[in-house]
Amino acid sequence: MKILVCISHVPDTTSKINFTEGDTKFDTNGVQFVINPNDEFGLTRAMWFKEKQGANVTVVNVGGAETEPTLRKALAIGADAAIRVNAIAEDGFSVAKQLAKVVEDGSYDLVIAGRESIDYNGGMVPGMLAGLTGANFVNNCIALEIDGTSATATREIDGGKETVSTSLPLVIGGQKGLVEESELRIPNMRGIMMARKKPLSVVEPVAADAATNSLSFEKPAPKGTVKLVAADNLDELIDLLHKEAKVI
């Protein structure tokens, strides 16, 4: 079985976010980038298929040369090869078009993508990729088993979970639950050394017009000031909750 894991290069959630050029561009200065958490769950599940079923795992990213350390980390975790599509990932549709070409060229049986990336939170790419390649699709996937060309997947739905059966080729939009957090892997020294020898191919993008464009960004409003009330002054506390907070 050939597995392709889509890897997004995203800011660490602890990074301080700023914008430049009149709040139209994301400022990457001083920002630490990591593997998108939803993609990391998918990569870990792919490693399980590799170890238990002998699957071959390739990771792919759409981005510039600055994303290669993130791909190298995925290789250190255990992926067999990496592909970087040399294009800027700014639009979900154009990213899906680039990934679709990689899928078609590689004839992959299973494509594991995160349900969304934590930077733009578009949530568009997995579904568009399935549509462009004609593969079956399961989104919000929290469990996946493969038996030959058959797949059983569990996905989150409103108010519960749903288990479905389908066949390969398959695209999933994975998330937390696909593996346990305790199963996520930290590259060890041996993996880091081996990653240097694994192939990382750079391919040029296909023509794809962007379907969306970010006009501007705005930070959330700062939190209001905190008022401290003495523990024994319940009358003042009730008055503030009633007249200012208006919660009672």
Q: Work out whether the CA dihedral 54, 100, 78, 44 comes out positive or negative.
A: negative
- Residue extents of the structural domains in the chain: 2-217
How much is the pLDDT for 124?
Answer: 93
Q: Which helix (H) or strand (E) holds 11?
A: strand 9-11
Name the CATH superfamily, with its identifier, for domain 2-217: HUPs (3.40.50.620)
Residues 48 and 185: their CA atoms lie apart, in Å, by 11
Residues 204 and 218: their CA atoms lie apart, in Å, by 33
pLDDT tens for the chain, residues 1 to 248? 999 999 999 999 888 889 999 998 889 888 999 999 999 999 999 999 999 999 999 999 999 999 999 999 999 999 999 999 999 988 999 999 999 999 999 999 999 999 999 888 889 999 999 999 999 999 999 999 999 999 999 999 999 999 999 999 999 999 999 999 999 999 999 999 999 999 999 999 999 888 888 889 998 888 878 889 898 999 999 998 988 888 88
